[in-house]
Each structure stands twice: as C-alpha cells, then as structure tokens.
A = this chain, B = another copy of it.
C-alpha cells in the first residue's frame, strides 16, 4: 500500500488545492462521506462546514461551489482508475489479458487498498455511480471542457480505446465502446441497486463478478 500519493489535478478544479492542507483534506474526506450519505442535491457547504467543525467561508476558500467540488472528485477518481490500470498492466503484453485487467480495474477499483488517508475510495466510487454523470451534464460543459476539466476522463477513455484497437485494429468504434464501457459499468450497478428491471445482473453484497462477466461478454463479442 502506497500512501500519500497526490494527483496533480487541473487548476480550474479548485480555488486552493485541497490536497495541500489539513483543512483541505478534511474537506475532501468529509464531503465524500456527506455526499454519499445525503446525496448531492441536499449537500451544502454549510452542512459540510458543521461536520468538519469549520466555517462555510473556509470551505469556499477551496471550492467556488459544490459543482466544482464534484468536478474535483470525479477527476480525482478517473485519474485513480487510470493509475490502477497502468500499474496492473505494466508487465502484461497480451492485448486480451490487458483488456481483462482494464475491465477488472474499472469495475473493482473500489476493492483496492486505500491510496490516501483522506479519500475513501469505496465511498467515492458510490458517488461516481450516483452523481458522476452530473459532472458533465451541465449547461457550461463546453466552457469547462475548454479549461481541460474533463481531461482525466477523456484520457482514460483513450487508454481503453487504444487497448481495443490493440485487439482489433479494424474495430470501427473504439472511443464509443470505451466511453460506453465506463458509463455502462456504473449504470448497471445503479440499476441493479435501484431499478432492477433495467438489468439482468445482480450485485449481491457488493459482489461485482456478474457485472465483470457481462462487460467482458459485451466487449469481446463486439471487438473480436
């Protein structure tokens, strides 16, 4: 287990980098717990400030608003997944094996050991499942995209797209399949939990093996 890793996230994702200070780390730690608990809509900086025994004004010094905080968390998450993929595929040459590791990493990111003390990756994965798509479904996407806000997600998609092409260089839709893999993985977990009619898998006690099997089925049937 490596601790104390700090990801370099885009400047536009914060006012002051929360990874640099004690208060910043408490903001990250507690906001993840609180958003998971009450949902993004009910989450406010005031409630967060109370929870960490600080003040609203202090939280605002780190993030302009809760949308920026969500962007930070999602960006951090996707960087983390990319990091996991890179270490797990480091010595793997077979493209099929590489793809299986990618799928495993995307799905089971959560069951990895903790990378930092101030981010609970399990809860963060829940937040990505529940609220992740709200990060880019905003009226200001184009503006935010210009500032590179979504680059960690796009980079991860690119890594997956290249892995797809390594298996079948003629596959016509590598980027669409990559983004769909990422979206589908989280969506199907959400459906299994809340709208089971929309899926065929189950996630008994958080066991994601059925999802992994299904995603493999989809991906390899498409690209081979």
Residue positions of A touching B, CB distance < 8 A: 38-39, 41-42, 130-131, 133-134, 136-139, 141-142, 145, 150, 153-154, 157-158, 172-176, 178-180, 183-184, 187-188, 190-191, 194-195, 197-201, 214, 217-218, 221-222
Contact = CB atoms under 8 A, between A and B. Distances in A.
A75 B4 CA distance: 46
Contact of A217 (B137, B173, B179): B173
Contact of A194 (B141, B194, B195): B141
Which of A154, A158, A180, A190 neighbours the largest number of chain B CB atoms within 10 Å of its CB? A180
A82 to B, nearest CB: 15
Given A145-B195, A180-B184, A38 B172 contact: no
Total copies of the chain: 2
A154 B197 contact: yes
The dominant DSSP class at the A interface is helix
Given A42-B139, A154-B195, 13 more contacts: A38-B139, A41-B139, A133-B133, A136-B195, A137-B190, A141-B195, A172-B217, A174-B200, A175-B200, A176-B188, A179-B188, A183-B184, A221-B221
7 contacts: A136-B194, A150-B195, A153-B198, A173-B201, A176-B201, A221-B221, A222-B222
